[in-house]
Structure 1
């Protein structure tokens, strides 16, 4: 039985549900791997891998975090090429195995005290592999789910990929709460390794789920019609460079998440001297709220459009980041929880829920994986280094968080401005996405688009 026949044997809604659940669980498990590195970089790696760096150890630890974001665009090019040529499913399985293997090996690394300079070099190498893997994960999952979803519910179904990422952040944060309660000597000796080693089980479960995915009908049609691009990246840049630029700038909003989950953790615990376990709970609670609010905002964008939801949330994030850092300065936990939930669970959840549908909708199916992957990863490249930049800007002064707030606000303004110039796509039928004629005829498309019950 061919892939297209197998896909046709299931109802469209059932295919969409399987894709959404697989996207949620796969993203949860893969980004658990990715973000436990962020927690470890904030709390442990400076002491374990860079003990001779003194006051700069935290800065160097954050630099290893940013290395993955350098590798992400390369991974986006590679996985986007093969995802557009060979199919979404097989590439998603491969990226998962790479992420799980590299994460497990981080937990096996010797420390600087044991292996000298080899230890941080190996850490950076494995982080590069993580980055290569992540370069294809969310773009591939978003493209696959979008192409399975019915018109009129595309944002809702694709939002589960992002909710999975937020849930991955939740469990990665929770995994480090008992670890941080260990005595310092045990934490640095073996405790930090446990969440990384646990990724072996995580990877096995995710692999099983990913193997059950099917290729979308729209990709099979391109394949059957011999319409697959020979070099998707070149085709993308030749035909859709303005949208590549737009999506890259829109993706700058993702740095809000990096500032909140990584930089704020170190700033609050190392500079303001707040409790590490409590800050991890703040991050976990805010992201739990996001898991539930993102599908709601996605449904709203299916009703009123992608741009209003994306732009409102992006501007709101620019404002709330100031409130959040001000709350950290007060050391008031109720105020910290309220502003964290408002920032992440409300305003950041809005663009984060919309972009898995909006970004790939701007590209045609033949270059969709490449367009989503390359553009998103270029934007995320900036996000990866915001913790290191923020650490340098604050200079260890609890009162000096203003520059980080303004940096976040500027990037959010650029993202909102770029979204304002982009086309609205929520009423364009799936098979017409990326075609200029369809985009120019949105009112007509609105009357004929199918809305799933």
Structure 2
């Protein structure tokens, strides 16, 4: 028997990194650790998106007209998305240099505390222009922390999970971004139903923001209990750590990073346009009440979570590239049907429109948390996947909701449908241009040598 044959047999017989035989690493703890931080991320962003559409124009921008106040309020959504790529670089550097675990502890604190402090900002009627300035500053802090949260949570499980179960375990950080849409809408709905409209605008909206503080405590406790991923430890032991991960990533795989930025584009565009712009559209154009919009948003959140789970499970059974790319193509058709459906003025049609959008978003999203990290080597994986994802967030989550009311005012809802369809076409092209690496190991260090 040759030395190479013996090594191959030994590698096949050895337990795979992250398998139950490798030393008893608790997958339930890892899954929960990745889930809980993402829940706070999703809760905060879902909450802020709805509040920015329904509450903040009156609380923080009362001196502007109705339309201008809505644009200004939704514009604050973009602040976090501008900061997120910077956060991806900062926390990606830390994650690739000192480890995934320590970095995720810092990100969850930044996200949760930023949201809690938002609930304490006095209205513009009390402190004038300082109120929107404080909101913008806290959004920037959130954005920096969020820039490092998603990819770190994804790596915490994907770098540990067995090869044939990576998609399933990557479901948990994805669920953390989808479940809170229903949770945040439900929280606002409960508070809105419990108090009269004036009281809700005066202080009731603050309760859900302050409620994020206990979530932070739970997330911090859980993340302090988890260990570093085996792939990172193995890479560090080989002396393969990148000195400046950002530079190495763009030196080795610039095209892959840019194309990867399109993988989640349909999802983030549909989610943030639906949560913020479509919520406002339901009140101002369809004629629905605030509570009807909150009910529809809550129900759509369950569709998002359910189809995210379905997508994650399917991603272990079929090509992730085909699953995600095919979902983008479905979104092209749906985008052209969405606003004619909403414009019927029916509450039932509004729910169908919102739930259909979120179902397609979930189907495209479930496999993203494993498909993106698989494109990059361990040495700069945190940075590269994070930068790619946050570029997506800047375009789909930051720019699209701000452009939506402008396009609607200038060209009508049909033009907005074409814009969403065009975004989905770009997302499909980017996804199909990447390689499917579902059968490869996550423990590889050199982009030039592959996996």
1:257, distance to aligned residue in structure 2 (A): 1.0
| Match status 1:233 vs 2:231 | no
For residue 35 of structure 1, the aligned residue among 10, 33, 46 is 46
Matches within 5 A, 1:63-74: 63-74=75-86
1:339, distance to aligned residue in structure 2 (A): 3.7
Output the CA distance in 2 between the equivalents of 1:396 and 1:41. 22
State the partner residue of 2:417: 405
1:81, distance to aligned residue in structure 2 (A): 0.3
1:14, distance to aligned residue in structure 2 (A): 4.9
Output the CA distance in 2 between the equivalents of 1:180 and 1:341. 22
Secondary structure (helix, strand or coil) at the match of 2:264 reads helix
| Match status 1:174 vs 2:208 | no
Output the CA distance in 2 between the equivalents of 1:312 and 1:367. 29
Aligned length, in residue pairs: 430
For residue 147 of structure 2, the aligned residue among 107, 119, 135 is 135
State the partner residue of 1:45: 56
**Deviation per residue, 1:233-283 (Å, 9 max, x gap):** 011011111111111122322211111111110111122221222222222
Cα 1:151–1:10 shift into 2, 3 Å = closer
**Deviation per residue, 1:380-424 (Å, 9 max, x gap):** 101212122111122299xx3222211111111101001111111
- Unpaired runs of at least 5, structure 2: 1-16
**Deviation per residue, 1:108-152 (Å, 9 max, x gap):** 111111111111111110111111111011111111211011101
Output the CA distance in 1 between the equivalents of 2:198 and 2:162. 54
Instruction: Give yes or no for contact 2:306–2:362 (8 Å, CA) kept in 1.
Output: no
State the partner residue of 2:331: 317
- Unpaired runs of at least 5, structure 1: 1-6, 440-453
TM-score after normalising by structure 2: 0.91
Instruction: Give yes or no for contact 2:119–2:207 (8 Å, CA) kept in 1.
Output: yes
Output the CA distance in 2 between the equivalents of 1:270 and 1:74. 35
| Match status 1:275 vs 2:289 | yes
RMSD: 2.0
1:97, distance to aligned residue in structure 2 (A): 0.7
State the partner residue of 1:450: none
1:11, distance to aligned residue in structure 2 (A): 4.4
| Match status 1:375 vs 2:388 | yes
1:203, distance to aligned residue in structure 2 (A): 1.1
State the partner residue of 2:307: 293
| Match status 1:392 vs 2:406 | yes
Instruction: Give yes or no for contact 1:425–1:433 (8 Å, CA) kept in 2.
Output: no
State the partner residue of 1:113: 125
State the partner residue of 2:6: none
